[in-house]
Structure 1
Amino acid sequence: MKASGTNDLRAFVAVAEQGSFSKAAERLGLSPSSLSQIIRALEERLGVRLLQRTTRSVALTEAGERLLLRIRPALDELDAALRDVGHFRDRPAGLVRVRCLRLAFRTYVERILAAFHDAYPEITLDILVDDAIVDLVAGGFDVGFTLGEVLEKDMVGVKLGAEIRQIAVAAPSYISRHGRPATPKDLHGHNCIRWRWPGRSLPYNWEFFSNGTWVEVEVDGSLIVSEQQMAIDAAVEGIGIAFWVEHAVQPLIDEGKLVPLLQDHSAPFPGLYLCYPRQRQMAPALRAFIDFVKASAVTP
């Protein structure tokens, strides 16, 4: 039983909620006779009867109903306070809620999960992998992985690895049929495999760096997907031109399945960041996860 000094009150709540001394005793790990003695001593101390007992049932008196109404939220708050104090244990434990872009999950998180679990078996990671850009705090997350260009100003940002760049790619079979675009504007004459950023109604405009400035190209094509890997797979099949992070498609380029395009018009931009709200006191479980990611992060 939790919180020494409140055992009799917790025993009363258990009986009231279970409606049975035997069931409450099983829940509390006590014998029914011991539980009955605890309740009897509480009633004697308070000078009122809290429970009406029969051979078949247990019911609350008016005084019991009023006491239950007042102490149940108080005991819940006490348990929450004790859990908070538990954050200061030497061995980190608890729940860490993580929101992660797919690219960040594959690059930095997926490969450390086994090692992190071995190092901190008492920490539970609740990971949502999603490419939507959302408010981390409003979503109830402790830590996130996002792009540097959309990093919120009030967040602590930890850069992971080097800058990244996106490039256009197509299969040799597509190029043999339709040729190569020489400039970003030439993409208007090609079948481009588009990607819709989650939470947005229109497909993402491809971004290039030309004549010293960033430009957006509103491409067109016969296929729109919700996940970048789907676009890359379609490009390998010769359906059209895809646009994605260079290090993610480099293995397919090395294998000859894809050919890079418009590289002179592709420039690096801030890469992936680990981010979390500024806070005076950080839970050990969250600190352990952040430190583990930082120590494991390498340039893609």
Structure 2
Amino acid sequence: MRASGNTDLRAFVAVAEQGSFSKAAEQLNLSPSSLSQIIRNFEERLGVRLLHRTTRSVSLTDAGERLLLRVRPALAELDAALDDVGQLRARPAGVVRVRCLRAAFSAYVGPNLATFREAYPDVTLDVLVDDAVVDLVASGFDVGFTLGEVIEKDMVALRLGTDVRQIAVASPAYIARHGRPETPKDLLSHACIRWRWPGRTTPYNWEFFADGAWFEVDVKGPLVLSEQSMTIDAAVNGIGIAFWMEHVLRPLIAKGLLVPLLEEWSAPFPGFYLCYPQQRQMAPALRAFIDFIKAKAVEPR
């Protein structure tokens, strides 16, 4: 028996890919109960169970796996056909899903949101600001802002601005009490405010450059945070030494709230890139956003 349309199929694919009724319902802008009823009715019409359900998880039956294997590429082709028709629109419209590192958002996206909205009123930007390193395509994003050192394979990468560098900083009060490190190894005897990449189990090792090579220092300290902005606040409050992007720290250094340290050991490295997967046909809304950012790209602020 055939379904009445592709709504049932899209609902089924969403649940299968998300592994959760609640997440799939959010993606489809439905209530979980409505989505559950759609799937239930679909299974009844087909006369076969597609999903195993428990209170904690959702998984595919054999029939569900076979159906997903066939319909996912078919729906992708249908979406591509609709996108082709959408190319005929005079003005870009639709949703562009963006994943952005916090520092990149502050430098390239946030300052330009109002201007982009004015230029493209029919485009909706769905932006996730997060420092986690993820698979852009698998996570459902159209475009991402990331650092050159963590660009995924098979991505088109457009450089934004020039190199950046990280530097160590501490408050004048901390330096007055504990002195200043003269080499990166001296950090091992200082209180360092560490940061953990989202999704990682261990704190980030600070990176320095000498004699033509990069090396890491596994610093120690009284505080490990998941937000880089919090490490800077902690350094301003005299808790210890922090380590982050120089262009973010410069305003605080200019005000005398922080003092730069070990600058001769801090070398520049590839800065921010705008990345997106290679594709034959690009939605007008995505093309408009990419071209807009390329035109507006400035040095990090």
Query: How would you bin the TM-score normalised by the shorter chain?
Result: 0.7 to 0.9
Contact 1:208 1:267 in 2 (8 A): yes
1:182-221 paired onto structure 2 within 5 Å: 182-221=182-221
Q: Unmatched 5+ residue regions in structure 2?
A: 8-44, 47-70
Which deviations, in whole Å up to 9, do the C-alpha atoms of 1:161-213 show, x marking residues without a partner? Answer: 01000000000000000000000000000000000000100000000002221
Match of 1:163? 163
Cα separation, 1, equivalents of 2:144 and 2:101:
8
Question: Percent identical across equivalent pairs?
Answer: 69
1:230-249 paired onto structure 2 within 5 Å: 230-249=230-249
Match of 1:55? none
Cα separation, 2, equivalents of 1:260 and 1:79:
55
Cα separation, 2, equivalents of 1:263 and 1:288:
39
User: CA offset at residue 88 of structure 1?
Assistant: 3.0
Match of 2:63? none
Contact 1:88 1:283 in 2 (8 A): no
Cα separation, 1, equivalents of 2:88 and 2:298:
30
User: CA offset at residue 84 of structure 1?
Assistant: 5.0
TM-score after normalising by structure 1: 0.73
Cα separation, 2, equivalents of 1:82 and 1:212:
52
Cα separation, 2, equivalents of 1:178 and 1:230:
21
Cα separation, 1, equivalents of 2:148 and 2:88:
32
Cα separation, 2, equivalents of 1:296 and 1:164:
18
Contact 1:87 1:285 in 2 (8 A): no
The one-letter amino acid of 2:292's match is F
Contact 2:146 2:274 in 1 (8 A): yes
Q: Are residues 1:131 and 2:128 paired?
A: no
Cα separation, 2, equivalents of 1:248 and 1:216:
22
Cα separation, 2, equivalents of 1:260 and 1:131:
24
User: CA offset at residue 106 of structure 1?
Assistant: 0.6
Which deviations, in whole Å up to 9, do the C-alpha atoms of 1:99-145 show, x marking residues without a partner? Answer: 10001001100001111011101001111111111111111110000
User: CA offset at residue 151 of structure 1?
Assistant: 1.0
Match of 1:181? 181
Q: Unmatched 5+ residue regions in structure 1?
A: 1-8, 14-64, 67-72
Higher CA-based Rg: 1
Cα separation, 2, equivalents of 1:79 and 1:168:
52
- Secondary structure of 2:145's counterpart equals strand
Cα separation, 2, equivalents of 1:281 and 1:161:
27
Contact 2:84 2:281 in 1 (8 A): no
- Secondary structure of 2:110's counterpart equals helix
User: CA offset at residue 87 of structure 1?
Assistant: 3.6
Match of 2:89? 89
TM-score after normalising by structure 2: 0.73
Contact 1:208 1:265 in 2 (8 A): yes
Cα separation, 2, equivalents of 1:150 and 1:241:
25
Cα separation, 1, equivalents of 2:297 and 2:227:
24
Shift of the 280–79 alpha-carbon distance from structure 1 to 2, 3 Å rule, reads closer
| Alignment length (residue pairs) | 231
